[in-house]
Amino acid sequence: MPNKFVVSSALLQNPIVRRISIVAYPGAEVLDITGPFEVFAFASLHLQRVGLIKEPVYLIEIVAEKPGAVTTMTGLQIFANRAFDGISDGIDTLVIPGSIDLQSMLKEVALMNWVTFMATRVRRLASVCTGAFLLAECGLLDNLRATTHWNWCEELALNYPAIQVEVDHIFIRNDSIYTSGGITSGIDLALAMVEEDWGRELALCVARYLVMFLKRPGGQSQFSTYLTSEAHHRTDIRDLQAWIIANPAEDHHVDNLARRMAMSPRNFARTFLTETGVTPAKFVEMARIDAARQHLENTALSIEDVAEKAGFFDSERMRRAFVKHMGVNPQDYRKRFSVRPNSATSLAVA
């Protein structure tokens, strides 16, 4: 981890110790459990290693129907510290993992009764992946916005019509209740919670250590531009996509791309759309937006320079694309997601 850390001095005066309880049950997805566990654990560890605290600020435990080994979906066993039916208070954040075996998960009646009981007794209640189904079955998501793994969003909406299911979100917060998307989204959600508790700098330190983006923010797609539109069958189209991504500032007019593929423009455009589900022009625009995002997040380049490097060349053209697809202009995007620290509002500690 880095040798320097930046944190608001106000948070150090009387640090709050928070108990994080993560549920385990037979057949649960192991990364839904261990992903958030690692985020909170590394947050405490880093604060201790740089000398800001002496004791952990996150007390993390695994709770299950009874203490002891719990066999997860892949066969890996997780050790539960406590039985959930003996817990009635003292939890700050309660995390519910998902499972691909929804029927078995929803037969965990004792767990659902306890979660319903605890829902108003914890500061944060969160589901990871299909854990949203358990919250839904408890009636805790009625009349709320929620998300889950993309493959189960339609089923969640069909089975629980009182929920406003949003398929393209990494996580959604409704006051004290959080839902997150597929599996690794639990890591994104835990990072967001660390940021809520301790600020951006600690969350960024943890994200870097875990080799994660600090934010695939709630409100953006669970998939990258490239995953959702990758060519299904033709490797030559996939190779072309990779070249476009690597060279966003090239002239990607459909005639030039067709020539590169030794195809007529009409045949190329039809083939590209069939293979990827988007037009060549749409894919190029998304690739350029993604390139611009990387520059805005990680560099101090001017907006004009970013537009040129990303292939927009015109900052106004880039602004229109951002507003259309991201809902914000490039300047506001940089303010929200830049990874460069704001030393003016933070305290540097060696």
Average pLDDT over residues 60-89: 96
| Helix, strand, coil percent values for the chain (each to nearest 5) | 45, 15, 40
Which residues form the domain of 50?
A: 5-209
219 located within any domain: no
Give the Cα separation of 291 and 226 in Å (integer): 12
| Mean pLDDT value across the chain | 87
Scanning 53-199, the segments in alpha helix (DSSP H) are 102-105, 109-118, 131-137, 153-159, 185-198
The tokens for 277 are 């589900």
Number of domains in the chain: 2
DSSP string, 179-230: EE-STTHHHHHHHHHHHHHH-HHHHHHHHHHTT--S---BTB-SS-HHHHT-
Beta bridge partners of 127: 96, 179
Lookup result for tokens 């037979």: 26
Contact 99, 27 (CB under 8 A): yes
For residue 244, what is the domain's CATH number? Answer: 1.10.10.60
Q: How confident is the model at residue 2 (pLDDT cuts 50, 70, 90)?
A: very low
For residue 178, what is the domain's CATH number? Answer: 3.40.50.880
Average pLDDT over residues 169-183: 90
**301-308 long-range Cβ contacts below 8 angstroms, 24+ apart:** 303/330, 303/331, 306/330, 308/249
Q: What is the pLDDT of residues 36-58, one digit of tens each?
A: 999 999 999 999 988 888 889 99
Give the Cα separation of 37 and 56 in Å (integer): 13
Q: Which of 151, 178, 209 is the last residue of a domain?
A: 209
Is the same domain home to 125 and 266? no
Average pLDDT over residues 183-191: 89
DSSP string, 230-285: --SS-HHHHHHHHHHHH-TTS---HHHHHHHTTS-HHHHHHHHHHHHSS-HHHHHH
Is the same domain home to 130 and 248? no
Is the same domain home to 166 and 43? yes
Is the same domain home to 177 and 257? no
Q: Which of 146, 178, 209 is the last residue of a domain?
A: 209
Is the same domain home to 130 and 246? no
Q: What is the pLDDT of residues 64-77, one digit of tens each?
A: 999 999 999 999 99
User: pTM here?
Assistant: 0.66
Given a cut of 90, is residue 15 above it in pLDDT?
no
Is the same domain home to 248 and 174? no
Residue 215 has what pLDDT?
Answer: 54
Contact 163, 179 (CB under 8 A): no
Is the same domain home to 248 and 195? no
344 located within any domain: no
CA-to-CA dists, residue 110 to 27, 65, 104, 138, 308, angstroms: 16, 8, 13, 11, 58
Q: Which of 144, 178, 209 is the last residue of a domain?
A: 209
215 located within any domain: no
Give the Cα separation of 278 and 98 in Å (integer): 32
118 located within any domain: yes
Residue of 94, 90, 167 whose CA lies nearest to 131: 94
Least confident of 4-18, 101-115, 133-147, 285-299: 4-18
Q: What is the pLDDT of residues 19-37, one digit of tens each?
A: 999 999 999 999 999 999 9
